[in-house]
Amino acid sequence: MSEAVLFDARDDGIAVVTLNRPETRNCLTSEIRRGLYDAWERFEHDPDLRVAVLTGAGEKAFCAGGDLKEMVETGMRVPPRDLIPVPYDTVELSKPTIAAVNGAAFAGGWLIAQSCDLCVASTTATFAVTEVKVGRSSPWASPLIHMIPQRIMMEILLTGKPITAQRAYEIGLVNRIAEPADLLASALELAGEIIAGAPLSVRAARETVMISTEMGRSAALRAARHASESCYNSHDAQEGPRAFAEKRAPQWRGH
């Protein structure tokens, strides 16, 4: 694993992935990108890891976006499809992810925070889609329409101006806000709440949300029922009600 991206596989089933180049505001250099690809692959294929938390080192930035120096040096026009390791897009993941945004999440930094399933932000965090400021574009922002209102999205993209963590929370981009010293603990608490659920139920719940953003009502209902069958037919689907009736904590097997 690259030192540019740290990977902490915790005993509680949570992986903490840290962008570790605070001196460059954790921007998406080739080194960071390679490290992220490796980290996501490790997370996905480790059966003991169930939730990942993505954060940045330092107090100033979660991720300041793409490497503008690289763009100048290479004369980059349309970015290669796989340039940035984006969860559930250019990276295949089946497990939940949480962005713990500790500072500025600009452009590509907003992208990777947006792509995680959930987002916890420090009170000092800021978010911006800054492409209009540097003559670039942000087609990756299109899924935002499922997260925030259209006119707010329009203003964010057209002006490139940053919004605060509080504003991001108000518009629905952020799930929780924490003081800087409590950010990681807050993200880990949220991850723990997910891990407390039955693994197949969590997977089916995540698939249901994603299906619902892609399809109309009737098609989504049919697809979600199909996605839930393995959950309903599992051992855990019997263990949960049994544990409730016996007034004890359930013992999940994940099958």
Structure tokens at 191: 């991850």
Length of the chain: 255
Phi, psi of 8 (to 5 degrees): -115, 105
Q: Give residue 95's region: left, alpha or beta (phi > 0; psi -120 to 50).
A: beta
* Structural contact between residues 210 and 202, judged by C-beta atoms closer than 8 angstroms: no
Of 161-170, 188-197, 227-236, the least confident? 227-236
For all residues of the chain together, what is the average pLDDT? 94
pLDDT at residue 174, as a whole number: 98
User: Would you list the DSSP string of 90-106?
Assistant: TB---S-EEEEE-SEEE
Pairing state of beta strands 126-128 and 163-164?
A: antiparallel
pLDDT at residue 1, as a whole number: 53
Pairing state of beta strands 118-122 and 97-101?
A: parallel
- Radius of gyration for the alpha carbons in the chain, expressed in angstroms and rounded: 19
Could you tell me where the beta strands, DSSP code E, fall in 129-204? 163-164, 176-178
The one-letter amino acid code at 165 reads A
Cα separation, 237 vs 255, whole angstroms: 9
pLDDT tens by residue, 111-164: 999 999 999 999 999 999 999 998 888 999 999 999 999 999 999 999 999 999
- Average pLDDT for residues 163-167, to the nearest whole number? 98
User: pTM value?
Assistant: 0.93
pLDDT at 2 over 70: no
pLDDT at residue 215, as a whole number: 86
pLDDT at 72 over 70: no
- Average pLDDT for residues 6-26, to the nearest whole number? 97
* Structural contact between residues 63 and 44, judged by C-beta atoms closer than 8 angstroms: no
pLDDT tens by residue, 29-70: 999 999 999 999 999 999 999 999 999 999 999 999 877 777
